[in-house]
Amino acid sequence: MSDQQAFRTAMVDGYTVKGDSIVLGGALLNGEVPEGALVRVPLRTMNRHGLIAGATGTGKTKTLQVIAEQLSQKGVPVLLMDIKGDLSGIAAPGSDHPKIQERHAKLGFPYEPQALPVELLTLSDEPGARLRATVSEFGPVLLGRILELNDTQQSILALVFKYCDDHGWPLLDLKDLRRVLQWITNEGKDEVQGTYGQVSSASVNTILRKMIELEQQGAERFFGERSFDVNDLLELRDGKGVVHIVRLTDIQDKPRLFSTF
């Protein structure tokens, strides 16, 4: 058996899977693609963690597009984060090119350009449906981590959420949270202290300053209504999974806002 035949046998045996799958490409040996030696990923394993690595220009973005396209065609909704702004091209049919035809001829399956159902989402003022959530939905633990609060400050934040829950006060945005923090150290100080314990004004002021830092990165546009519903990501159109692309091109330098999402 030649090296090429042995290689083909090993690849075919290694990538023969049970059930449905997607194709990432073909195995390559000495510049040749053995017939039928396709690299497949079982569809049932696509909920696991994976890593796409490589130097600039080696095809990481294209790999993401290939995976998203095939998952959509299999009826699986997809969520992508678009840092550079070059993933949304799958919303339009691709154009033909000799290089593409050459690659697909080697792989052994036809190239069929087609548009996929795409929804653009945004955390900022970029075009797309705005992703939003209320402060109440975030809760004190997650919000405290984002604000990088210490234990004392975190306990005060938890107290604020408890107080608002007990009184039926919704915390929709950061303005609501700021008003309550100011209230518990002024007009409502005696009431809060009698029921929930003493609150340090210095700690509250620190929380307020950290909120300003978060707002300076654009968080006021994220907190509020109408809240994002994760079920909206589970959408099908004509049997294809909708590809939701979160546009992040303008918040790469805003780590607080990015980590909030």
CA proximity to 205, closest of 192, 186, 188 = 186
Tokens of 190: 């005696």
| Higher pLDDT, residue 73 or 253 | 73
Identify the residue whose tokens are 């696509």: 46
Instruction: Assess whether pLDDT exceeds 90 at residue 30.
Output: no
| Contacts by residues 204-210 (CB-CB < 8 Å, ≥ 24 positions apart) | 204/156, 206/153, 207/147, 207/149, 207/153, 207/156, 207/157, 207/181, 208/178, 208/181, 208/182, 210/147, 210/148, 210/149
Predicted confidence (pLDDT) per residue in 118-171, tens digit: 999 988 777 888 888 899 998 999 899 889 999 999 999 999 999 999 999 999
Q: What is the pLDDT of residues 167-214, one digit of tens each?
A: 999 999 999 999 999 999 888 888 888 888 888 899 999 999 999 988
* Both tokens assigned to 105: 């001829």
pTM over 0.95: no
* Residue among 112, 116, 108, 71 nearest 89 (CA): 116
Contacts of 246 (CB under 8 A, 6+ apart): 79, 80, 81, 82, 121, 122, 123, 131, 261
**Secondary structure percentages of the chain, helix, strand, coil, to 5:** 45, 15, 40
- Nearest alpha carbon to residue 41 among 73, 69, 19, 8: 19
What are the sequence ranges of the domains in the chain? 3-120, 135-221
Q: Where are the beta strands (DSSP E) in 123-238?
A: 129-130, 236-237
Question: What radius of gyration do the chain's Cα atoms show?
Answer: 25
Mean pLDDT value across the chain: 87
**Contact in structure between 111 and 101 (CB atoms under 8 Å):** yes
pLDDT over 90 (residue 85): no
